[in-house]
Structure 1
Amino acid sequence: MNSSVAHEGVLLVIGIGSQKDRDSRPYREPLLAAAAERFPVWLFDSDEPTWQKDYTVGATALDCYDPQALVKEARRLAELHPIVGVLCPDEGTLAAASHVTEELGFPGLSVESARACRDKKISRSVLTEAGIAQPGFTTARNWQEALAAAERFGFPVVLKPRTLGSSQGVVMVKAPEEIEGAFHDTSRAAYPGVHIPDDYVVEQYLSGPEVSIDGVVFDGVYTPAFVARKQIGPEPFFTEMGHVVTAEDEILTDAAVRSMLQDAHTALGVTHGTTHSEVKLTPQGPVIVEINGRPGGDILPYLGRLASGVDACLAAVDAITGRPPTIRPTRSGSAGIRFFAPTEPCRVREVRIGDTSTVPGLVRAAPLVSPGAELLCPPQDTVARFGYVIVEGASYEECAERLELADGLITLDGEPLRTTA
């Protein structure tokens, strides 16, 4: 360990590589690079580091879903090197990591706040009690209870597991005859290491476009950093297929949205950190879908920096280490991403990238899987992607047009897989 580490201490980062069988680097490298720009980084992860070694001074492989193991190892690390803060960007390990934050007394998500953000039943209850607009909701332990709830609310409704992310197990139900199959899809969704309660959320469907808002909380004050306009895949699932971020998105200055998000973060007890909020813009006004207690996934912080110059990754590090974060746009443009997913379950033979010169404003076109990887489709998996493209442009419209031009740029050669329903 070099002398600068002994003097400055280390920033403990938890769960950078926890991306199931996906390559975590495109998703997590900007955040780890930002952390390393501010402090020497020590990594806790479920596997030994690979690409992460470029940004870390040390690493410990352990079960990042086990709060007791994390606290024990964090205390051991603190005996050797001062820890300046705890940063966790991973939805699956966030709840366990909050025990380290709380036990060591650092700014960030408390155990209660992490649980409130993670558990959709708790979130809905807390936000409803705080007077924040929410869809009607309840929970059900079987399809018959879900049907009874849906008939009370009126169709369509949405079924969700309480503690999963990335739209896993989220299904729209438009008619009574669909409820049994939909409940089966919702109740079998899983993620390694994540406990899923056996009652599932049933809520009213909200009409209108959905956006995500990444923001920073410091000393209890919420500041939005950037807004992403989503592209959602075919019904009945809610697979996220792309996003466009525009530096001067009008939502950033919308008083009603900002007030709603401030009130929601206060109600959930979030005082420090970066969050990823999902908001439906309904005909009756904005409504919070959920608030995630970590930075946005899907390479969104990189898109935000491309479009506006705002580095939400640095802001995330600053917020949990006692440094007031800076949210100051230095660019005025747009950036967008499009993901490519299989249309049938398959084993990857090859991912091919076409002529990149045909797409103006192309920043990056890259595969996300290697030959031999097995890809499933919704409802079995909502994040099975084989590649992505990123473009930039002067406006939302220009980015959207360029993403359409890139639609066939990445193609998949795969061997069909047999799957059980």
Structure 2
Amino acid sequence: MDDQILFALGSRTCVPEDPLIAARAMGLRSVVFTPRPPGCGAAAGLMDHVDYVDLQQPEQAVELARRIHDRAPIRGVLGYEEDATLMAAHIAAALGLPAHPVAAAEAAMDKPAMKRLFQRAGVPCADFTVARDEDDAVAWARAGGYPVVVKPCRGGASQGVIRADDDTSLRLAYRRLRRIIRDHDLDNGDRPPSAQLVERYLPGAEVSVELLLQYGEAAVVTEFGKPLPLTGPFFEETVYITPPALEAGLRKELHELAVAAAAALGFHHGPAHCEIRLTPDGPRVLEIAGRLLGGACARSFRDRLGGDVHTYLLRAAMGERVTIPPPAADAPVVGALMMPVPAEGRVVAVGGVERARRVPGVWDVSMMAEPGEVIVPFPEQACYAVGFVSASGRDEADVVDSLSWAGASISLELAPVRPDRWTSPIAAEPGPEPAGLPEPAGQLAGILFDELPAAEALCEARQVLSAQLRQPGEHCRIGVDGVGLLTGWVLDGIGHIGAGGPYPRARRSGGYRRAMSELIAALAAEFARRGATQCVIDVDPRSPALAGTVAALGFARRPRPAPEPGGTRTFSCALTPASCADGEVSGDAGSCCTC
């Protein structure tokens, strides 16, 4: 296997083993670039080479790819998730491989830039603005009317996407979105943290059109319908069906619209996933991405194409001309279920998978949520990672029925989410006695609660400080000019990191990890000056940015205690547990506890 294929994975990529299996079957060596250990069912044994890369430093990934390419040729590059497709575009351009241009990949990452290109090309889309702050958002919404939708300027998987129907709900949604961006360290496109995307809500059903572009020519792979309403306030996608029941004229119009959207961004070579709303005023493009439908949902192409879609993508990435076969006349209707997130919690056990596999019409069940993982509902959720079900049948209703029964068969036992404790020996030299620092509550208000009005932020910050000062020990704090502030205390030779973090301006353009690393190093030096030999920090696992930072700094997570007896609850992954207050189930029946 001298020829290689490079898979670029994103920070939240959920890619099963399928593309790796396809590469192995084609005699290709799989090289994986990823910011974190791959999960979501990706088989480590199928990855011939793995390198951990910083998505914010594509030039480093390019140099690494060059060195690998010099040893054995990289024949093609495939990206999964928007930030990864940008890195893939940089690598492909440097190696002279066919791919979407870097400028197109950048536009696909940035929703406002994308929508401006749509407008310039005459592609119909929702009216939008990048609001300076929540007051600006409310003024814009009032001028044009509600409802509106707030979104991160960059991001995916419906994370942070919230509908608002009036001034009050818009302010709450705007603040919630800013917390999500801060806690998950989402890239805001070098905009101030107060600036967010607000657009008109588009009513109507939603479909996606999947394209494969080859040297500028676009071919439709298939369309997917989303039969369950996506009306908000959050937009967790669950069911995809292909082919959707569409009138021939509308189908042609959607194909042309998707191709126009791809051309507006400058997509040239590779897959594209275009999402469209069927509004009363006609189809409107929501977004387009330089990738195919994600996760195990891509398995739905098998029955439509008569083969694995990843083989076509790999061949196209290698520069071969491929022809997408039309579905057979007797091809079934195919569907995919992205299992809904039933509740927040740490996964203790998964039940009912074999029962789901026995549901008529179901031919694949892939569970991504594993014991120990933390899941949270939308809009905080960062990916569709509970699990996937694939089914086929005679018509749409038949397939939706199979997917619904399969989802209702599966249950998750969840324990409450508690902080993880991370520890590290202190290797820092004792620091000098710090100079006088400003009153910390005002600093923390801007660091931890910058989405709130100033008076509310200060009140919240004072409560945090008050709780910390009740801890026994010698309290301290450290500030780094232009970076941020951290507080802590030393007790019995252990330095405990408390509240704080980087200033909002230091978090822009992916600077969180660098800034937080500098702050922790400075506080560790202060701990050492006070005689501490070990450093401890309690991390909320729902804030992956901090967990990833301390892990990269060499902190070790202590073993988690077992859940207390009776301290867990079991929830159904049913699509519509409407007859239950929260979807909780009893026993292993896989049905609502009150049904």
Quick one: distance in 2 between partners of 1:288 and 1:171? 18
Equivalent residue number for residue 12 of structure 1:
6
Cα distance in 2, alignment partners of residues 129 and 240 from structure 1: 29
What is the aligned partner in structure 2 of residue 204 from structure 1?
200
Q: How many pairs align?
A: 409
Q: Which residue of 268, 279, 282 maps to 2:279?
A: 282
> For the residues of structure 1 that align with 2:134 and 2:36, how far apart are their CA atoms?
38
Match of 1:271 in 2: 268
In structure 2, which of residues 71, 80, 91 is the aligned counterpart of residue 80 of structure 1?
71
Deviations 1:195-234 (A, max 9, x none): 2133211111111101122110012111111222224567
Contact conserved, 1:65 with 1:93, CA < 8 A, in 2?
Answer: no
Q: For 1:63 and 1:257, how far apart are their aligned partners in 2?
A: 37
Match status 1:43 vs 2:35: no
TM, length-normalised to structure 1: 0.88
Q: Does 1:383 align with 2:383?
A: yes
Q: Is the 2:275–2:288 contact (alpha carbons within 8 Å) kept by the matching residues of 1? A: yes
Deviating beyond 6 angstroms after TM superposition, the runs of 4 or more aligned structure 1 residues are 418-421
How far did residue 81 of structure 1 move? 1.2
Corresponding residue for residue 427 of structure 2: none
8 Å Cα contact 2:163/2:233 also seen in 1:
yes
2: CA distance, partners of 1:294 / 1:363: 24
SS of aligned partner of 2:241: strand
> Would you say the 8 A contact 2:159–2:379 is kept in 1?
yes
1:80/1:192 CA distance change after superposition, 3 Å? farther
1:100 is matched with which residue: 84, 91, 97?
91
CA distance in 1, matches of 2:285, 2:160: 19
Q: Distance in 2 between matches of 1:262 and 1:299?
A: 24
CA gap of 1:101–1:406, structure 2 versus 1, over 3 A, is same
TM-superposed CA distance for 1:373, in Å, is 1.6
Deviations 1:57-93 (A, max 9, x none): 4333333442021011011112111221211123332
Give 1:46's aligned amino acid.
P
Match of 1:243 in 2: 240
2:315, 2:382 → 1: CA distance?
Answer: 32
CA distance in 2, matches of 1:257, 1:113: 21
Aligned to 2:332: 333
1:64 and 1:297 mapped to 2: Cα distance? 19
- What pairs with 1:25-174 in structure 2 (closer than 5 Å)? 27-38=15-26, 39-47=28-36, 51-174=42-165
Describe the SS at the equivalent of 1:68.
helix
* Unaligned runs of at least 5 residues, structure 2: 419-539, 544-595
Q: CA deviation at 1:384?
A: 5.9
Conserved? CA contact 1:246–1:395, under 8 Å: no
Residues in 2 aligned to 1:347 and 1:410: alpha-carbon distance in whole angstroms: 16
Pairwise CA distance, 1:35: 3.2
Report Cα offsets for 1:301-357 as digits up to 9, x if no partner. Answer: 211213442543222222222111221134411222223334332122211016347
CA contact (8 A) 2:104 2:266 kept: yes
Looking at structure 2, the residues matched to 52 and 367 of structure 1 have their Cα atoms a distance apart, in angstroms, of 14
SS in 1 for 2:19: helix
Query: Is the alpha carbon distance of 1:373 and 1:55 closer, same or farther for their aligned partners in structure 2, counting shifts above 3 Å?
Result: closer
Is contact 1:14-1:64 (8 Å) kept?
no
Give the stretch that moved more between structures: 34-43 or 107-116.
34-43
Aligned to 2:210: 214
Residue range with higher mean Cα deviation, 41-50 or 363-372:
41-50
**1-side partners of 2:233 and 2:37: how far apart?**
38
Following superposition, the deviation at residue 293 of structure 1 comes to 0.8
Q: Which amino acid aligns with 1:36?
A: R
Deviations 1:345-380 (A, max 9, x none): 212221101634762112123432222222112232
Q: Which letter maps to 2:9?
A: G
- Per the alignment, residue 304 of structure 1 pairs with 301
Cα 1:361–1:194 change in 2 (3 A) is same
On the 8 A contact 1:217/1:272 being kept in 2, the answer is yes
In 2: Cα distance, 1:97 partner to 1:13 partner: 8
Paired position in structure 1 for 2:412: 412
* Alignment-mate amino acid for residue 79 of structure 2: C
- Does the 8 A contact of 2:30 with 2:46 survive in 1? yes
Show CA shifts across 1:26-65 (max 9, x none).
x332223233334332222234678544434433333344
Tell me the distance in 1 between the aligned counterparts of 2:242 and 2:56.
32
CA distance in 1 between partners of 2:52 and 2:407 (Å) = 39
Q: 1:103 to 1:385 in 2, by over 3 A?
A: closer
State the secondary structure of the residue aligned to 2:17: helix
- Distance, in Å, in 2 between the alignment partners of 1:374 and 1:31 is 26
* Native 8 Å contact 1:210 1:229 kept in 2: yes
Deviation at 1:141, TM superposition (A): 2.4
Go from structure 1 to structure 2 and tell me whether the alpha carbon gap of 1:275 and 1:135 turns closer, same or farther (over 3 Å shift).
same
Note closer, same or farther for the CA distance 1:381–1:302 as it changes in structure 2 (3 Å cut): same
DSSP 3-state at the match of 1:107: coil
Q: 1:49 to 1:366 in 2, by over 3 A?
A: closer
Q: Give secondary structure in 2 for the equivalent of 1:145.
A: helix
Contact 2:208 2:276 in 1 (8 A): yes
SS where residue 254 of structure 1 aligns? helix
Gaps of at least 5 residues in structure 1 are none
AA at the equivalent of 1:30: D
| Contact map agreement 1:365 1:387 (CA 8 A) in 2 | yes
Q: Report the CA distance between 1:235 and its aligned residue.
A: 2.4
Q: Take 2:145 and 2:274, find their aligned partners in 1: how far apart are those partners?
A: 26
Match among 178, 187, 203 for residue 195 of structure 1: 187
Residue 228 (str. 1) matches residue 224 (str. 2): yes
Identity of aligned residues (%): 27
Rounded to whole Å, the distance in 2 between the matches of 1:28 and 1:358 is 22
SS in 1 for 2:287: strand
Give distance in 2, aligned partners of 1:252 and 1:14.
Answer: 37
Counterparts of 1:262 and 1:171, CA distance in 2? 28
- Rounded Cα–Cα distance in structure 2 between residues aligned with 1:251 and 1:44: 42
CA contact (8 A) 1:211 1:278 kept: yes
Cα distance in structure 1, aligned partners of 2:269 and 2:207: 22
- SS of 2:83's equivalent in the other structure is coil
